[in-house]
Structure 1
Amino acid sequence: MNWLEVKVSLKREASEAAANFLIERGSPGISLEDPRAVSTIEEDDLINLQVNSKDELVSVAGYFPLEDSCLDPVISELEKFLKNLKKSGIDPGDCLLALKIVKEEDWAHSWKKYYDTVKVTDRLVINPSWINYQPDFNEIVIEMDPGMAFGSGTHPTTMMCLQALDEQDMEGKTVFDLGCGTGILSIAAAKLGAGRVIAVDNDYLAVKVTKENCRLNLVGSVVEVYRGNLPAFLWENKELPEGDILLANLSSELIIKIVPDILRLCKNEGIIILSGIIRERLAEVKERVLEEGLNVFEEGLNKERLDKKGLNIEEINFEGEWVSLLVKKQKL
């Protein structure tokens, strides 16, 4: 099968909306390029050439089967969507849209050149499965074969989750990984000592890749992988256990939507790690958290409790335009 790569370069603040749009239209995965690494695109591929070179651009690409007869509506809807973003208060800038045919056999290997071994913390290391890496005695190596799913471990939102996980006491804990992508966080939790990990994603390819990566890392007996939409999956599976640690590396919009469900799943004195939040939407996420009766602790400020109940946001971490929150559920 051949794929059509639909890539849009636009301002950072609009990248999350563009990624969500492409996924909702059927792209099985999303690739994101650092704005400083956006490459020159051949003029023949361009649909809209009105680009301000002074703007810092993020490139978001989705992939669609070339044989799909519904491609024309997807492209026209994307163009219309980008034009209408300003009405929603999001400025995409002067967007550049490019199309490229990607052969299945080319895709299967060409993306590998962008990955290398990454040392996340003093002991956590992410290593592409095709690279022979010799770990130090204290290192925990996570072998990854990212495929087309989002979450190779090098994205800032994933890195912040891994760093937060490495600081927790994981021994025997029950962990939820909501939006598991390639399974990188689930595998890390298992290798750090979790007793049970429940991984969920709505993307069939992400579920497939997560299962394969769990087998590759010999944690298949610890990690359970499910396909389902959030929050519906949580509503439909009332028998799910409470979690000691909940990971939600998702879009800001989805995090805001499922905060009550995350709270219900979390044990008293459990930890919730929220990531995937862009700076522009941090205030919205915090406001939603406060609506659930939470205490917010700002980094660097006196950690005096507010007159609230339920949760404390104990850490707010920043990496470029991305934000992660570490929340603790208080015993009531």
Structure 2
Amino acid sequence: MKWLQIHITVDQAQVDFAETLFLSLGAVSVTLDDAENQDLLEPLPGETPLWNKVIVTGIYQHTDDAPVDAELLMQFITDQLPNAPIRFDELEDQAWERAWMDYYEPIEIANKFWIVPEWLEAPEADAVNIKLDPGLAFGTGNHASTFLCLQWLGKTNLKDKIVVDYGCGSGILGVAALLLGAKKVYATDIDPQAVLATKQNAELNGVLDQLFVGLPEEFNAEFNGQKADILVANILAAPLMALAPEFANLIQPEGEFALAGVIEEQVEDVSNVYNAFFDILNIEKREENWCRISGKRHSV
């Protein structure tokens, strides 16, 4: 069996129409991709971010018994979106649902500290190896903000500490903290898919019994006035600033914290908000402008 792919490049405002058009013309799947190598930030609640220019691809089953007339389809699509570049190609059959696995490799965070996709062998069997199935949640270690948090955890004394992972995504930071010696991790995210992914990755690494994860209201009920020794939050600048008073209540005096998801231009604004509650001790940058802010809760 072969598959026919028709690719059309449209502005962000035309994406929904292009996607609906492909599906109405019998596409078995529609994918979206960046047309201009534009970075996207992790979305805020309720947002679905897209690139300014998007390649929308319709995939059609193409067999000898039921061939697809690519030229006819392309002409119809061009009639509806006359200014959008369009092209097609054919692909041999493959296991599409797992093809994305080819793009992942083990990532070395520090000496003897790796992230290893669950389907690959660990480069160093005696290292701290986080097994990870990225699934549908944010956080694989490939992104600079996640890497910066992992790097900080690897340099922080986590032995027998209570850790909060706020905005846990895939759970990679909480799982890493437990593998690095933390006693207990309390994780939370606004996305139910992230809660599920965190549980799955904790189970994959044998630390599920040391981790609680839930939506914010579930987290608040479970944590219930405790104080963490460590807090990590890989979110975005605006929610980080809004959450500063809440984070101050979650961490014990002189407890340590690390924030990421902040670009260089936002560091001053975030730091000014956190200075009311925390001593900022370090700002680390990676990949041009992604930054991590870390320090300690005020002693009183």
TM-score (norm 1): 0.64
Give, as a single letter, the amino acid of the residue that structure 2 aligns with 1:125. W
2:191–2:215 Cα contact (<8 Å) kept: yes
Query: Structure 2 stretches of 5 or more lacking a match?
Result: 1-27, 59-84, 86-93
Q: CA deviation at 1:246?
A: 0.2
2:291 matched residue in structure 1: 323
Correspondence 1:247 to 2:214: no
Partners in 1 of 2:29 and 2:137 — Cα distance?
A: 15
Contact map agreement 1:170 1:189 (CA 8 A) in 2: yes
2-structure distance, mates of 1:262, 1:11? 35
Structure 2 CA distance for partners of 1:190 and 1:31, relative to 1, 3 Å? farther
| C-alpha RMSD of matched pairs (Å) | 3.0
- Any idea what SS the aligned residue of 1:111 has? helix
Letter in 1 for 2:278: L
Q: Give the counterpart of 1:277 among 231, 239, 262.
A: 262
How far apart, CA to CA, are the structure 2 residues paired with 1:122 and 1:173?
A: 22
State which of 197, 211, 215 in structure 2 corresponds to 1:223: 211
Residues 158, 327 of structure 1: alpha-carbon distance in 2 compared, 3 angstrom cutoff? same
Verify the 8 A CA contact 1:161 1:185 in the aligned structure 2. yes
Q: Equivalences for 1:60-209 in 2 at 5 Å? A: 108-137=97-126, 139-209=127-197
Q: Relative to structure 1, is the Cα distance of residues 220 and 236 closer, same or farther in structure 2, using a 3 angstrom cutoff? A: closer
Amino acid at match of 2:185: V
Give, as a single letter, the amino acid of the residue that structure 1 aligns with 2:207. V
Q: 1:156 to 1:215 in 2, by over 3 A?
A: same
SS of the aligned residue for 2:259 comes to strand
Q: Per the alignment, in what secondary structure is the counterpart of residue 212 of structure 2?
A: strand
Identity of aligned residues (%): 28
Contact 1:313–1:328 under 8 Å retained in 2: yes
Return the index of the structure with the highest Cα Rg.
Answer: 2
Partner of 1:68: none
In structure 2, relative to structure 1, the CA distance for the partners of 1:205 and 1:121 (3 Å cut) is same
Distance 2:35 2:272 in 1: 30
CA 1:107 to 1:252, structure 2 compared with 1: closer, same or farther past 3 Å?
farther
Q: Shift in Å at residue 202 of structure 1?
A: 1.1
Equivalent in the alignment of 2:17: none
Compared CA separation, residues 272 and 194, structure 1 to 2 (3 A): same
Name the CA distance, whole Å, in 1 between partners of 2:252 and 2:30: 44
Residues 20-31 of structure 1 aligned to structure 2 (within 5 Å): 20=43, 24-25=46-47
Aligned residue in 2 for 1:15: 40
Cα gap change, 1:112/1:170 in structure 2, threshold over 3 Å: closer, same or farther? Answer: same
Other structure's SS at 1:207 match: helix
Per-residue CA deviation, residues 226-254 of structure 1 (Å, 9 max, x unaligned), is: 123xxx66666671411000001001111
Measure, in 2, the Cα distance between the counterparts of 1:196 and 1:140. 17
1:11 offset after TM fit, Å?
A: 8.5
Count of residue correspondences? 237
Does the aligned pair in 2 maintain the 1:234–1:261 contact within 8 Å? no
SS of the equivalent of 1:15 reads coil
Change beyond 3 A, Cα 1:322–1:134 = closer
* In structure 1, distance between residues paired with 2:274 and 2:117: 36
The range that moved more, 239-248 or 279-288, is: 279-288
Q: Secondary structure at the match of 2:208?
A: coil
The amino acid that maps onto 1:247 is V
Match of 1:305 in 2: none
Give the deviation of 1:112 after TM superposition: 1.1
Alignment deviations for residues 251-295 of structure 1 (CA, whole Å, 9 cap, x no partner)? 1111010011101110111101101101121121112123x2xxx
